[in-house]
Structure 1
């Protein structure tokens, strides 16, 4: 007794001929079904190429469009010819023209000889299936699907919608319990004969002709009625991505395929010369017989799917760029945003760079240009300082900057004068550390020599912008680490918040600050705020600055410690 192969072919017929010849020359009968849509010339050439092999047959042809009954009809046609023409066949193995044997035929025959009554077919109930894509699991058995999902998508969707609206339900034939699974099976002669000679076959076939993707349910359902021993697994290695599309194996998958220990794999790229040469060779190095175990490579495929769908943190690839929230982390690493610090302190960027040992930029989103650290005009990754280029896509500007400087923490200044389009993005980024001295934008206005009427108007505008910014970073949806001090609160004791910031930027450094950067002169600032109130503008973000009693910051220099005996 031996195993026979039914091959469903529709493209790359030269490769299908190689595989069929490989099986036939080793004593395994082959029945080939060629899609009816293939030209007569190509079909005739395939017949002529395989004519010398007496254990190869061709069966009647059907149009095999994905998701339609034609694939089942082709499988029935090929199986019928196999059972009729080759009585010595005990197991029938369904394969495609893009399949490739991974192990010697002798090992497959020996494996099946040890299990003469076992049917290998993935067959699970709809409740246990988690891999259906498109939302049609049990509905594929209760609705009608007369239209092609690929060629008549609009009609397909409309007809499904109409059936749902009128609550249409098809009657499932008696004794039929729908099951799903891979279409690539290996069934015994007894089981396959019972399915093809089923007394209710005409009724069952009529029902399944309007089921969606019947090749994943027809044999999988009927085998449960007629088989005594079912192993719900396929002997064929076939992997699918998150969209339900099959993975294609190329030459560089050679070692991966060998590790699976499966007997057959699909889908093989027709141009994979190395794979066909290795697995169809007569002098292949025999490997120890092992149980087929595609699980050996499942972890690798899982990682590949995760990398394809989520990518690397902070890297926006073309495949995910149009899809919001498909990124695996908004940015590639932690960064710090400082609002108001450069207004309160002189040369704050230089001081922070020395104290924190990190890269500190100016206002990256300033209206005039991008103020990179050191006054650079072109930064890592050939990033220009052009405000127009930056504002074309501010999100990608920031994510590219963080990606291009991985391994080095980036810090930059941000205020109400800057482009505000990224407020929500930064607030919802877990990598962002946002420190705000609210109302600090008033200090430059206080030192300006502008007309006070203009100052009042500008102060009202900036306060409104900063208030919206504060509302965003205080939102319940914010994921960034946020610290907010009012200006009055900060200048009373600047050392403590500065130490907190330095500790967070470089937690391993353990540096204790001995002095703060030079603070701007705030003498008369309380009266300035009162003048704004007198002019009809209410400053609310600066905190309590009493008129005539200017806040005096504590000393920014720590004295040397000494020991008292």
Structure 2
């Protein structure tokens, strides 16, 4: 038993093994203070079935764990010549079934070694790379304490093409460090005439406790089952899952003999499993696969979460979202530039909450002039622009069940364009070139207007490129301004139908079109000065754009 923390629980479990007729050799990490180690020795001094091995410094990923296991195994084999199997466990492991059941299970399989052992080509679980390289490079530095030296030395070896020679007669294998080996196989490994060469080689292998016995067991075992009798689950980062009191029924369902890691304060688990045979689990073949689905679901919730909801454990990694937003929403670009009363008109005709420009130069224009929206979402521009993507995500999440509509423009914060384009919940309607309308009435000097027109056209072109990208998933409707104002009712009807009209009947009115007096001449002046506003479309030169034919319904109001 390898222990380094929660020594009180380790004592409790060691006594449980000993009471079941299984002798225990404890290795206590040399980093544990002598005072704590002395208390553990005195606490179990009355139990003849418990002894202690020589102490080694056991740092994760280093040789100390293998050396500690070797010494403890040798002491156990010498002191108890009658044992048939050696079970490697830790202080955070907990027996889930009566000890006698495990003894009977192993007695029925006297020649079988239970150790997870797979070649590097067949292994998919190493996290962070270095699956094959851990056997071909040298790792003299601690990954935890000297990370920069560790990474730098790996890069240096790669650069110079360094590669270690494998000792003859072995094929590297990997697997869980928690195994159960027969006396014959373990003795053969420890008494191997080439052990010094193997130890010298594995001393500089990375994480040797997951490869030393796994490799050498293949050399000596007569009958090997590549599985562990210890239930241990790992998350997507390669860290072990910790079991708490509320995992009691989950552990019972696994039918496994031992589980790790158990939280030291999970008193309910220790009381439930460190009991007599009548209170323990039923006899069955260990089957950790019964609970794999639950762990897969938990991993999915941690890495992907719910649609449109972020959590701190997955926030920093791009692409770890399960969808940017939690519901459908609509974005209108260019409509407020072309129509004077577009927002109130849309509120009257669409079953949605209609906002103004949420990402414009000023504060977010929430519907109804609100300053604080659901979930305490503030309209403050500084907070919004600090994380505009999160602002949009929170807006849609906080207003679930109600479709949100907001205005966008070439003047707005463009950090969101790819997020919107790739969001399948987004419906985007764009009138290209509409930014030219307010510019035509600007009081700025023409040189400034020309420069601003070029900038806005470039930004809108980037937005359109994102919307037309093969990565785009948003539903997109695009019209040039020249095309749109010739017959605006059809595009407006299409946009309203996507949102959901308040009435099933076709639109009976359109919003008021802004005055376009002098607009064609403005466009021509831009062209004459070398700035071609191609996104506006083809406006006739020298004449004003004509309104659509007068009809009773639908009709377009002009000023």
Give TM-score scaled by structure 1 length: 0.90
Answering whether residue 468 of structure 2 is matched by residue 474 of structure 1, we say no
Query: Which residue, out of 96, 99, 109, partners 1:105?
Result: 99
1:557–1:249 Cα change, 3 Å: farther
Q: How far is 1:440 from its partner?
A: 2.6
TM-superposed deviation, 1:214: 1.0
Distance 2:534 2:221 in 1: 80
Check conservation: 1:495, 1:513, Cα contact below 8 A. Answer: no
Residue of structure 2 in register with 1:281 after alignment: 275
- In structure 2, the partner of 1:13 is 7
The one-character-per-residue Cα deviations of 1:348-407 (angstroms, maximum 9, x if unpaired) are: 223323333111111112333321112222111112222233233322222211121122
What's the secondary structure of 2:479's corresponding residue? Answer: strand
1:234 paired with 2:225, answer: no
CA distance in 2, matches of 1:467, 1:480: 21
Equivalent position of 1:160 in the other structure? 154
SS at match of 2:181: strand
Distance 2:219 2:9 in 1: 36
Which residue of structure 2 aligns with residue 520 of structure 1? 513
1:111-166 per-residue CA deviation (whole Å, 9 max, x = no partner) reads 11221211100000110011112221122112222221212222222222222222
SS of the residue corresponding to residue 421 of structure 1 reads helix
Matches within 5 A, 1:50-69: 50-69=44-63
**Which structure 2 segments of 5+ residues have no match?**
555-559
Counterpart Cα distance in 1 of 2:527 and 2:165: 81
Taking the aligned partners of 2:527 and 2:100, their CA distance within structure 1 comes to: 98
Structure-2 change in CA distance of 1:69 and 1:444 (3 Å): closer
Aligned residues: 549
- How far apart, in 1, do the equivalents of 2:164 and 2:183 lie? 32
Q: Is the 8 A contact 1:129 1:180 kept in 2?
A: yes
What TM-score, normalized by structure 2, do the two folds share?
0.91
Of 192, 196, 202, which residue of structure 2 is paired with 1:202?
196
Per the alignment, in what secondary structure is the counterpart of residue 437 of structure 1?
Answer: strand
Write the mapping of 1:125-136 to structure 2, written as runs, cut at 5 A: 125-136=119-130
Q: Deviations over 1:497-555 (max 9, x none)?
A: 12221232239x99342324233254645555467459846543332332335322256
Confirm or deny: 8 A CA contact 2:96 2:273 kept in the other structure: yes
Q: Give the secondary structure class of the aligned counterpart of 2:415.
A: coil
The alpha-carbon distance between structure 1 residues 538 and 173, as it changes in their structure 2 partners (threshold 3 A), is: closer
Report the more deviating stretch, 120-129 or 44-53. Answer: 44-53
- CA 343–100 in structure 1, closer or farther in 2 if over 3 Å, else same: same
Alignment of 1:381-460 (within 5 A): 381-444=375-438, 454=445, 457-458=448-449
Deviating 4+ runs (over 6 angstroms)? none
Decide whether aligned partners of structure 1 residues 331 and 264 sit closer, same or farther in structure 2, where only a CA change above 3 A counts.
Answer: same
1:142-221 to structure 2, matched below 5 A, reads 142-221=136-215
Unpaired segments ≥5 residues, structure 1: 1-6, 560-565
Cα deviation, residue 201, structure 1: 1.5
Q: Give the secondary structure class of the aligned counterpart of 1:474.
A: helix
Question: Quick one: distance in 1 between partners of 2:395 and 2:90?
Answer: 48
Which residue number corresponds to residue 547 of structure 2? 552
1:359-398 alignment to 2 at 5 Å?
Answer: 359-398=353-392
